[in-house]
């Protein structure tokens, strides 16, 4: 039993030493390996807004608030879809349209997925549907903070 305990202690110490060892580049120097960080490319939020304006069909009366963007390692369109490897830009926010017959609408959610400047898909909620695909996609991406109701993001 003592031999087993000693063997386990030595194995634990050896694995701890290996885990603590720095990476080496073969030249004898320590090389830090940073975790990959993705940055939202410039102009992506504006591209997403332009696509939503086009999809809604009345670009002059559409305004936006609480627009947020992030880069994702992968995304998928629906529960059963295959993931799309990233980085993929995800843009979420709220839009409002001015209708000539009704006046101003409330704010509704939109979602846009963009990879390398190409729009993969869009979704936007309408007044008749309430919270729908766009809201739940934004919530899944973590982009529906409580401050979105105040328009504090933009």
132 by Cβ neighbours in 10 Å (0-12 / 13-18 / 19+) ranks as middle
Q: Is residue 80, in this structure, part of any structural domain at all?
A: yes
Q: Is residue 14, in this structure, part of any structural domain at all?
A: no
Position 91 scores a pLDDT of 96
- Which residues span the domain enclosing 135? 44-150
Average pLDDT over residues 114-141: 88
Mean pLDDT of the chain: 77
Q: pLDDT grade, residue 148 (50/70/90)?
A: very low
Give CA–CA dist 35/111, Å, rounded.
Answer: 27
Position 71 scores a pLDDT of 93
Give CA–CA dist 113/3, Å, rounded.
Answer: 58
The torsion angles phi and psi of 47, rounded to 5 degrees, stand at -65, -40
Q: Is residue 62, in this structure, part of any structural domain at all?
A: yes
Q: pLDDT grade, residue 56 (50/70/90)?
A: confident
Q: Is residue 4, in this structure, part of any structural domain at all?
A: no
Q: Is residue 117, in this structure, part of any structural domain at all?
A: yes
Model-level pTM greater than 0.75? no
pLDDT tens per residue across span 126-135:
876 778 889 9
The domain tally of the chain equals 1
pLDDT tens per residue across span 74-90:
898 888 889 999 899 99
């Amino acid at each position: 039993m003592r031999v087993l305990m000693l063997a386990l202690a030595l194995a634990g110490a050896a694995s701890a030493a290996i885990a603590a060892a720095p990476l080496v580049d073969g030249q004898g120097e320590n090389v830090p390996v940073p975790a990959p960080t993705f940055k939202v490319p410039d102009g992506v939020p504006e591209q997403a807004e332009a696509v939503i304006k086009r999809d809604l069909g009345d670009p002059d009366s559409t305004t936006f608030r609480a627009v947020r963007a992030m880069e994702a390692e992968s995304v998928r369109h629906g529960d059963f879809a295959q993931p799309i490897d990233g980085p993929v830009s995800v843009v979420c926010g709220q839009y409002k349209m001015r209708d000539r017959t009704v006046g101003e609408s409330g704010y509704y959610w939109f979602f846009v997925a963009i990879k390398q400047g190409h729009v993969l898909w869009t979704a936007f909620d309408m007044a008749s549907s309430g919270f729908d695909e766009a809201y739940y996609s934004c919530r899944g991406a973590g982009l529906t903070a409580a401050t979105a109701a105040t328009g504090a993001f933009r």
